[in-house]
Amino acid sequence: MEKYTTPNFKKEMMKDYTILMPNMATTQWKCLQAAMQSEGFHLEVLDTGTSEVSQLGLKYVHNDTCYPALLIIGQFINALNSGKYDLDHTALLISQSGGGCRASNYIKLLRKALVRAGYGNIPVASANPSGLEADSSIPLKLQLLRKAIAALEYGDEIAALRNQIAPYEQHAGDANAWADKWISTIRKWMLQNKNYSIVRMKKLFAEIAQDAACIPVHRIPKVKVGIVGEIFVKFSPVANNELQSFLESQDCEVNVPGLMGYINYCVANTKLDDLFYGLSRTAAKGAAVLLSILDSIGKKQSQAMIEAGFYAPGSFRELMTKPEGILSLGVKMGEGWLLTGEMVELIEGGYSNIVCAQPFGCLPNHIAGKGVTNRIHFLYPQANITAVDYDPSSAKVNQENRIKLMLAVAKENLQRKNTNQTTTSK
């Protein structure tokens, strides 16, 4: 029987190896990259197009494997094929959730694909807090974790503010220029080992939001669309065929709930494991403390955005109440109850038009996403939700046409709302 193994990543490789990581949430990843570089990782984020990487993924991974795995593995092999890297000093970094989703097994699929592609000498590193692949785990020291959290929190705020400014900017390009300025600033902070403490974050959230409020805008009613879904497909432009850009081209304001929501979800599930399944009480207590810390940071960020005149979600503990009457918090495979909670929060926040982006055949997300829409429609008649499957065989034009049908209903609803407000004001 053929053995599919590759070298384990060792911490002594950090100073000499270029570490490749697939892109996901572009703004957040730029900040995270600097945080990891400040701790000695020579990290490069990959960003390659869908068709080439998906075909490479299909070549080396079974076609029933979920779409994110195909893309991630395709991105890695495409990079190794490019000739840009010294293959004797290149390693690959992949995150693992540690949950019941197939994402926990991507690293084994990657090792197998590397051997089959002739790259069995490339070390693979795992980034996870759950003890998976312990021999290949990158060293997650406390300072790195603190910087990573700060980078993702700042990135979430920048992305959220940019998305609320771009559709209304008076001068084209202002929102993107503003975002680029702050991304550059935060990267410098990470590299200079500053402004990643909780106290500094909470103060700087307000500074960032107030600066965003200075951008000239002309706010007129527009269709507001939220994006939820499987974590990789939700955020990655490669995976969702530039979904956010497409929606913005249709004159929509787009809201993508932040990446820290998923981090909080993973922490909360450790606590819920004890509540529902009687697992480790010690781990649950530690998770409860960490969740309180993370939630306090999130609440301060939301407060800063609201005070500057922007929309912001409620606390994560409030989000945990949103699925009540729709889905149990015990449903935690894939994005589980988080997916349902984010849809409800978006609807209550005025983003009643929602695209639920899912890998084709991802059963947990079809249950927690598509499966709950009838109940959500019953509770929130204004909800206008469309589920879109993403897969190498799915045509982009079909996906966009499905979204356009949702937008046609959204535009009719907006026009009706504006007409009723005009009539009422007379």
Could you report the per-residue pLDDT of 357-388, keeping only the tens digit for each? 998 878 778 888 889 999 999 999 999 999 99
Q: What is the pLDDT of residue 140?
A: 75
The residues near 229 (Cβ < 8 Å, ≥ 6 apart) are 240, 335, 339, 355, 356, 357, 358, 365, 369
pLDDT at 1 over 50: no
pLDDT at 168 over 90: yes
Could you report the per-residue pLDDT of 116-142, keeping only the tens digit for each? 999 999 988 877 665 555 566 677 788
| Interatomic CA distance for residues 213 and 310, integer angstroms | 8
DSSP string, 349-418: TT--EEEEEEETT-HHHHHHTGGGHHHHHHH-TT-EEEEEEE-TTS-HHHHHHHHHHHHHHHHHHHHHHH
Sheet-wide strand order for 223-229: 252-255, 223-229, 353-359, 384-390
State the pLDDT confidence band at 101, using cuts at 50, 70 and 90.
low
> Alpha helix (H) ranges present in 256-372?
260-277, 281-307, 316-319, 336-348, 363-368
State the pLDDT confidence band at 163, using cuts at 50, 70 and 90.
very high
What's the whole-number mean pLDDT along residues 300-315? 97
Could you report the per-residue pLDDT of 318-328, keeping only the tens digit for each? 999 999 999 99
State the pLDDT confidence band at 103, using cuts at 50, 70 and 90.
low
Q: What is the pLDDT of residue 424?
A: 64
What's the whole-number mean pLDDT along residues 244-273? 95
- Is the whole model's pTM more than 0.85, yes or no? yes
Could you report the per-residue pLDDT of 186-238, keeping only the tens digit for each? 999 999 999 999 999 999 999 999 999 999 999 999 999 999 999 999 999 98
pLDDT at 313 over 50: yes
What's the whole-number mean pLDDT along residues 146-168? 97
Q: Rounded mean pLDDT of the chain? A: 90
The residues near 67 (Cβ < 8 Å, ≥ 6 apart) are 54, 233, 239, 359, 360, 362, 390, 391, 392
Residues above pLDDT 70, as percent of the chain = 92
| Interatomic CA distance for residues 130 and 222, integer angstroms | 43
What's the whole-number mean pLDDT along residues 51-76? 85
pLDDT at 150 over 80: yes
Q: What is the pLDDT of residue 423?
A: 66
State the pLDDT confidence band at 185, using cuts at 50, 70 and 90.
very high
